[in-house]
Structure 1
Amino acid sequence: MDTQPIDPRFSGKPFYGKGRAKLRRFVFFTGVLLVNLAAVLWMADLFFRSGFHRAHVLLLIIFAILNGLLVLGSFHALFGALDIITGRKRSVRISRLAEGAPDHLEKRYAVVMPVYNEDSAKFCARIEAIYRSIETTGQLDKFDFFLLSDTRDLDLWVLEEVAWTNLCRRLKGFGKIYYRRRKVNENRKAGNIGDFVRTWGGGYEGMLVLDADSLMDGSDIVKMAKVMEAYPRLGILQTPPKLIRGVSVFTRLQQFAMRLYGPLFIRGLNFWQLGGGSYWGHNAMIRVKPFSEFCELPALPGREPFGGRILSHDFVEAALMVSEGWEVWLAWDIEGTYEEAPPTLVDHLKRDRRWCQGNLQHFWLIFARKLPLTVRIHLFMGIMAYLGSPLWFLFLIFGTWVAWDFHVSDLTPLPFDSFAERTFGIAGQWQGMILIGFVFTLLFLPKILALAGAMLVPRLRRAFGGFFPLLVGGMMETIVSMLLAPCMMLAHTLMVLSIITGHAVGWGNQSRETDGTAWADALRFHLAPTLLGIAWTVLALQIGWVFTLWMSPILLGLILCIPVSVWTSRSKYGRALARKNILATPEETSPPEILNLAIQAEASVHVALNAQMPHREGVIAAVVDPYVNSVHISLLENSDMGGVDESLANRCLKNGPGALSKSDLSQLLYTMPAMLMMHRAVWLGAMEDLHPIWIKAVESYRMRPGE
């Protein structure tokens, strides 16, 4: 009699029992609700005491939402701190399964890096570093590497092919490192990964998904694979990447904050989500088979921005995995996982525009059937990461309205008896101060806990540059983040309004390096918040100095957003801070080996096989240079050259590549006989039949380097 194979989702003992998981979630979220409820009732009592105003109900509703988010964040930090204090052995740690696993992996795994209009030398350097790092573990035979290009820039396409070829030659990686460029980049990154899964995924147990700026230590990658083999219920294993290589003040502030405060939030998040976690799109190991079966993303009803293809696909893929009974875990103790960040506030907000639209699309899914509670909470937190800003803005607007009404009415609020006064004998002004103190405690509690923890532990204190640099860095990060917050609030508010009014976002490549934001660009980008800040300040002064003082952090942040944006974008100031160890991180004071490998990596660059020489770059090199042309055509499918292709090739030779549209030039680059014909023509054809750009390219071979 045939027996059906046991579904791995239901085989063996769960890593963490359902009953204990429910208890943890009950304790965590009941605490959040009770603390938030107490604060809301306290504010309602304060409003009752000062007399009813039409805006009070709206203020109370918005406060309940915003303060709930604030309490949620503080509880993550608080429970994270408690988890750290109780010790590593008592923490829930999925990666401990690797400690008893066999030394050698049994299954095969793919390291997958999607790229889109990126610097090929840099992402190939990261692949080289990861390749060499895994090689030192003795497990390289179990891993293959895939560069999955969706690059639309034709010159960058050629550079990618050349860099990949050099990389494989130097590492002896042919048959281990693969390159593919999609003709049609449908559905962005999700479609790119989906194409890999459909085409090659069947040969692998799991795939490590990276971004173009990702870097991961080889031993940690092997550990993740061991966990996947040891625990058949595991669908996705996410790691918390650290930010590295920040040069500008903005990126140094980001990586310092994430490195100092991040562990608290990560441990607190792991406390309640356990096997119902989320996927952040990169630096994660995914089991291929269930991902292929359950994570195909349908288009949402309607048109973009709320309909169409899902932009924030990672949260949804994790939601589908968990809803089908697979577990998604956060490996909080995986240390060797890194990424880079946008270098300026402007670049950060441009990236946020895409994330904002993707997260707001989750409104379609948050109330869907079959989704577990943890999934709904993750989707809700992702949505509120952007909706919180317009709610905060409305709270400030309504607060200003109330203050203005009391100012123009010139009336003294009626002294109603309040619960706080009757029960505790608290005067009106003290009741308000207690609420303000409570909110500020919630706001700064994570920073205080993290800073105190780092200062009290000698190893951490030294890793962050020492006592004084750590203290100065913490103070600077707090002040600058307070100045940046109002600008980001307004930017997110405008993003949400833009999406609601039907303006969808495009798909651009992420800026990772820049020499700073120009004053003209900052003025254009931040003019609206600056003008709003000036107008709001004038109105606040009309109301009174007490209200102006209360609003001063918001008003200063809006008025100063242009100079703050420019100053934080400058690399020279970031380097000056680095020389003093201010905003230093452990990865700066003691660089990990994988980072050193990436810095030293140069296998993708070669003097002979090069598509960046003067007069023969990119597409020009693919036609003229014998080596580059050979590499390019070796990656094409064999095809015949039709009349249209021949006509395009002749026009390109006579009038130059600039005479062709991008789609026509792309068609030529995909046609093997056309590329061969053009190569022969520029070397053997009559010069009077060629455009000067080809003649210059051929003549450049007679020049010495530097001429």
Structure 2
Amino acid sequence: MQETPNSCEPGMPNEHRAEMPAQDLHHFSAAQVRQPINRSAVRSLSWRRILVLGGALVISALAINEMRAVLGIGGLTPLEYMVLILFALTFCWITVAFTGAIAGFFSVLARSNKEVQWSDEPITTRTAVLMPTYNEDPARLFAGLEAMARQVVEAGGQGHFDWCIISDTTDADMARKEEQAVMLMRENIGDKVNIYYRRRRQNIARKSGNVEDFCVRWGSLYDHLLVLDADSLMSGRVMVEMARRMQQNPDLGLLQTIPRLINGTTLVARLQQFAGRVYGPIVGSGLSWWTQKEGNFWGHNAIIRTKAFMQSAGLPKLPGKPPFGGHILSHDFVEAALLRRSGWSVEIADDLNESYEESPPSIIDLAVRDRRWCQGNLQHSRVIGGKRLHWVSRMHIMTGIMSYLSSPLWLMLIISGLLLALQYQFVRPEYFPQGYSLFPTWPLMDPERALRLFVVTMGILFGPKVLGLISFLWDKKSRSEAGGFLKVLISFIVEMIVSALIAPIMMLIHSGAVTSIVLGQDSGWNPQRRDDGRIPWIELWHRHRWHVIGGMILAISSYVISLDVLAWLSPAIIGMVLAVPLSSWTGSNKIGQVIKRWGILKIPEEAQLPPIWQEMEQALATYEQQLIQTPSLIDIASDKSWFNIHMQLMDRYESREAGDVEAIDATAAIKIADAHSIEQAVSFLNAKEQARVQNTPALMQALAGLPRVDSPRLNAPQHEQTSQEGQRLLTLLHNL
């Protein structure tokens, strides 16, 4: 066990409670909108929306009309009407991304030779850096925090940033490691910054509830909240610059950076980070360019004005049960919409590039994450009609919904297209339909127009990637650091091919997620794996079996109809039939390392690691070594120094009302009262009970009051022990 520290400061500062009322989605008046200090700071340029959205509308209208002409020779059949409607829905979805990417392309090129305008204004505000965590690796989390804290101090932010780890961890061992990591971080850098820690007893409303709890109890002590994720990294100068921009613009409610993906070790993670690095800038810059003051929030790597957030963005509890009712899971889009509704601007800082995060290491991990996001975004169907939400905020919400609904729509379009091809191939024309008609109605298609429309659709679909590639190659420094023109081009082709193979698998995964949500299944809350994508083949088969079967059915159906249809759908068929090996190979660290050695899918950050990442890795080695010797629950209960430290870091316990006893508390209390020693009590407690004991003062005190195995108190007469145990149980249950 590590040497016991001599003393410990409290986990959190004294509470300074304030209200964070839940907002009403159904009632909101113009009188509730704040008056801006500078009207231009909350006003967007309409001509930018006209160019991007108007352009998307024109392209969509022309394409839909062309599809109608393709299908409409001799009149539209009911099946052709269905194909037309599904095509319209899916095509409109991709055209906004296309026109936005065009705007982003020119925006990126326009500033390619310009440096970021860093402010040197003295900081006069206080910012709480919030790190919510839920059963995440404490070594990685605290190493990143320490690296960021050191850089913030170097960038001139000392005394203006407090570092707050707000934990929802439910694993008892992980929670003890977090406490030890707090002590280590305070020892390393506590003389320069304030480091606070709080672990909640109950994970109400998940991450949003975690942040809300902090806001209600301590938020009013700070001007800003800089919200991170467990895998977030931001350079110190970016964090300081964000605080300065908030300080300079009193009408700015939220400033969101565009995180870059780094540290991908598997093939699928490297694919994501290459795509994010090459295509991401034009997509993000395009979104920033046309949304302007009605930007969006992605839940992390963003700074928020605390007063605005607490007054305007308290989340309501949706009526009904999960998955559509209850606490709002995807809180970020809704919070941005509520801030804008109240008159605050929400902006995307697409010029601040030193903001990073990591990506899931396998298709399965992507599916687990997307299942939770899918439920949260579909929940927004009950939010999108909220009173007086800005129409651009509604578009952000609809975009989130469509990011998952588009998969079943594409699947329905493929099935409808197959049925239409089947109809063309085998159904005899009906020359004498019922009713009065001068001409017969039968299914026909204009092949030349169909081919032309296909080319246009592919151009719209892949246009953002091509524009992203051009803008990336235009940047000589980035091109060189990514391996040069040829390596970047090869990487682009590899990304296109592998992504095309994975796309039908993800389409089926998302379609299954949507179906399960519609059927009423809740996603739960699972921690995210960060670095290892290995999964046994038997589990991969279990996860992907229906994708493989679906691919085989699609292949057989296409072959029965015609070889042309089989060739047309072959990319989707190959991806689905090979789902199991694709999932294994793309989640393999070994294959990822081979691809990395070859210089494929390389990003500039790999040629020259960002300084913040280098500092994090240096700190990580120390934390991993120190946390190996984390004290056990027995050590904490039996060692006075460790016990006092633990009690100092423990969250304040809310007094319960008479008769309101939680089952897990009562069960743990009985087991402790039944035990004759600390060791025996811990052996009685299951994992959940140990986690609860560690976060309940009365239970910890009762556990610490027991003797160790070698204590002479164990030799007391049996009747005396029984009497003491009964009295102890009554006292303990009363104190809970």
- TM-score (normalizing by structure 1): 0.88
Q: 19, 22, 33: which is aligned to 2:46?
A: 22
Q: Given that residues 159 and 193 in structure 2 are in contact (C-alpha distance below 8 angstroms), is that contact kept between their aligned partners in structure 1?
A: no
Q: Given that residues 279 and 318 in structure 1 are in contact (C-alpha distance below 8 angstroms), is that contact kept between their aligned partners in structure 2?
A: yes
Q: Which structure 2 residues correspond to residues 291-306 of structure 1 after superposition, within 5 A? A: 291-306=309-324
Aligned to 1:697: none
Q: 422, 426, 431: which is aligned to 1:408?
A: 426
Percent of paired sites with the same residue: 34
Aligned to 2:57: 33
Q: Which structure 2 residues correspond to residues 575-586 of structure 1 after superposition, within 5 A? A: 575-586=593-604
Q: Given that residues 112 and 145 in structure 1 are in contact (C-alpha distance below 8 angstroms), is that contact kept between their aligned partners in structure 2?
A: yes
Distance in 1 (alpha carbons) for counterparts of 2:202 and 2:514 = 30
Aligned to 2:380: 362
Aligned to 1:168: 186
Q: Does residue 67 of the first structure (1) align with residue 117 of the second (2)?
A: no
Q: Given that residues 66 and 388 in structure 1 are in contact (C-alpha distance below 8 angstroms), is that contact kept between their aligned partners in structure 2?
A: yes
Aligned to 1:673: 701
Q: Which structure 2 residues correspond to residues 279-318 of structure 1 after superposition, within 5 A? A: 279-318=297-336
Relative to structure 1, the CA distance from residue 649 to residue 332 in structure 2 (aligned partners, 3 Å threshold; closer, same or farther) is: farther
Aligned to 2:14: none
Aligned-residue offset at 1:66: 0.4
Deviations 1:204-252 (A, max 9, x none): 1101000011011000100000000000000000000011111001100
Aligned to 2:578: 560
Q: Given that residues 612 and 618 in structure 1 are in contact (C-alpha distance below 8 angstroms), is that contact kept between their aligned partners in structure 2?
A: no
Q: Does residue 84 of the first structure (1) align with residue 108 of the second (2)?
A: yes
Aligned to 1:465: 483
Aligned to 1:11: 37
Relative to structure 1, the CA distance from residue 292 to residue 168 in structure 2 (aligned partners, 3 Å threshold; closer, same or farther) is: same
Q: Given that residues 158 and 622 in structure 1 are in contact (C-alpha distance below 8 angstroms), is that contact kept between their aligned partners in structure 2?
A: no
Aligned-residue offset at 1:454: 2.3
Distance in 1 (alpha carbons) for counterparts of 2:636 and 2:370 = 36
The structure, 1 or 2, with the larger RCO (C-alpha pairs under 8 Å, 6+ apart) is 2
Aligned-residue offset at 1:128: 0.5
Q: Which structure 2 residues correspond to residues 260-659 of structure 1 after superposition, within 5 A? A: 260-409=278-427, 428-602=446-620, 605=623, 612-613=628-629, 618-624=632-638, 628-636=642-650, 645=669, 648=672, 651=675, 653=678, 655-659=680-684
Q: Given that residues 201 and 692 in structure 2 are in contact (C-alpha distance below 8 angstroms), is that contact kept between their aligned partners in structure 1?
A: no
Q: Given that residues 43 and 293 in structure 2 are in contact (C-alpha distance below 8 angstroms), is that contact kept between their aligned partners in structure 1?
A: no
Q: Does residue 225 of the first structure (1) align with residue 243 of the second (2)?
A: yes
Q: Given that residues 140 and 620 in structure 2 are in contact (C-alpha distance below 8 angstroms), is that contact kept between their aligned partners in structure 1?
A: no
Aligned-residue offset at 1:428: 3.4
Q: 56, 64, 71: which is aligned to 2:80?
A: 56
Distance in 2 (alpha carbons) for counterparts of 1:514 and 1:656 = 35
Distance in 1 (alpha carbons) for counterparts of 2:640 and 2:623 = 17
The count of aligned residue pairs is 658
Aligned-residue offset at 1:87: 3.6
Deviations 1:633-673 (A, max 9, x none): 33247999999848615526364524224554345322342
Q: Given that residues 672 and 703 in structure 2 are in contact (C-alpha distance below 8 angstroms), is that contact kept between their aligned partners in structure 1?
A: no
SS of residue in 1 equivalent to 2:71: helix
Q: 164, 175, 182: which is aligned to 2:200?
A: 182
* More displaced stretch, 638-647 vs 325-334: 638-647
Deviations 1:145-202 (A, max 9, x none): 0000000111111111011111111212597000000111111000100011111111
Aligned to 1:127: 145
Q: Given that residues 634 and 678 in structure 2 are in contact (C-alpha distance below 8 angstroms), is that contact kept between their aligned partners in structure 1?
A: no
Distance in 1 (alpha carbons) for counterparts of 2:528 and 2:617 = 21
Counterpart code for 2:105 = A
Q: Given that residues 264 and 531 in structure 2 are in contact (C-alpha distance below 8 angstroms), is that contact kept between their aligned partners in structure 1?
A: no
Q: Given that residues 199 and 651 in structure 2 are in contact (C-alpha distance below 8 angstroms), is that contact kept between their aligned partners in structure 1?
A: no
Distance in 1 (alpha carbons) for counterparts of 2:349 and 2:710 = 57
Distance in 1 (alpha carbons) for counterparts of 2:431 and 2:305 = 63
Distance in 2 (alpha carbons) for counterparts of 1:687 and 1:535 = 69
SS of residue in 2 equivalent to 1:601: helix
Counterpart code for 1:403 = A
Q: Does residue 256 of the first structure (1) align with residue 284 of the second (2)?
A: no
Aligned-residue offset at 1:27: 2.1
Aligned to 1:142: 160
Relative to structure 1, the CA distance from residue 143 to residue 441 in structure 2 (aligned partners, 3 Å threshold; closer, same or farther) is: same
Q: Given that residues 357 and 505 in structure 1 are in contact (C-alpha distance below 8 angstroms), is that contact kept between their aligned partners in structure 2?
A: yes
Q: Given that residues 168 and 174 in structure 1 are in contact (C-alpha distance below 8 angstroms), is that contact kept between their aligned partners in structure 2?
A: no
Q: Given that residues 681 and 703 in structure 2 are in contact (C-alpha distance below 8 angstroms), is that contact kept between their aligned partners in structure 1?
A: no
Distance in 2 (alpha carbons) for counterparts of 1:45 and 1:340 = 46
Aligned-residue offset at 1:628: 4.0
Relative to structure 1, the CA distance from residue 294 to residue 69 in structure 2 (aligned partners, 3 Å threshold; closer, same or farther) is: same
* More displaced stretch, 81-90 vs 480-489: 81-90
Distance in 1 (alpha carbons) for counterparts of 2:711 and 2:241 = 56
Q: Given that residues 156 and 240 in structure 2 are in contact (C-alpha distance below 8 angstroms), is that contact kept between their aligned partners in structure 1?
A: no
Relative to structure 1, the CA distance from residue 412 to residue 474 in structure 2 (aligned partners, 3 Å threshold; closer, same or farther) is: farther
Relative to structure 1, the CA distance from residue 203 to residue 154 in structure 2 (aligned partners, 3 Å threshold; closer, same or farther) is: same
Relative to structure 1, the CA distance from residue 620 to residue 246 in structure 2 (aligned partners, 3 Å threshold; closer, same or farther) is: farther
Aligned to 1:118: 136
Aligned to 2:10: none
Aligned-residue offset at 1:611: 6.0
Distance in 1 (alpha carbons) for counterparts of 2:448 and 2:693 = 76
Distance in 1 (alpha carbons) for counterparts of 2:268 and 2:289 = 30
Distance in 2 (alpha carbons) for counterparts of 1:173 and 1:512 = 31
Relative to structure 1, the CA distance from residue 53 to residue 126 in structure 2 (aligned partners, 3 Å threshold; closer, same or farther) is: same
Q: Given that residues 470 and 582 in structure 1 are in contact (C-alpha distance below 8 angstroms), is that contact kept between their aligned partners in structure 2?
A: yes
Distance in 2 (alpha carbons) for counterparts of 1:133 and 1:685 = 53
SS of residue in 2 equivalent to 1:180: strand
Aligned-residue offset at 1:8: 7.9
* More displaced stretch, 488-497 vs 650-659: 650-659
Distance in 2 (alpha carbons) for counterparts of 1:688 and 1:276 = 71
Distance in 2 (alpha carbons) for counterparts of 1:571 and 1:307 = 39
Relative to structure 1, the CA distance from residue 182 to residue 603 in structure 2 (aligned partners, 3 Å threshold; closer, same or farther) is: farther
Distance in 1 (alpha carbons) for counterparts of 2:74 and 2:582 = 38
Distance in 2 (alpha carbons) for counterparts of 1:654 and 1:332 = 55
Distance in 1 (alpha carbons) for counterparts of 2:570 and 2:688 = 54
| Root mean square deviation, CA, Å | 2.7
Relative to structure 1, the CA distance from residue 618 to residue 586 in structure 2 (aligned partners, 3 Å threshold; closer, same or farther) is: farther
Aligned to 2:172: 154
Structure 2 gap segments, 5+ residues each: 1-32, 433-444, 656-664, 717-736
Aligned-residue offset at 1:86: 3.4
Q: Given that residues 274 and 601 in structure 2 are in contact (C-alpha distance below 8 angstroms), is that contact kept between their aligned partners in structure 1?
A: yes
Q: Given that residues 291 and 321 in structure 1 are in contact (C-alpha distance below 8 angstroms), is that contact kept between their aligned partners in structure 2?
A: yes
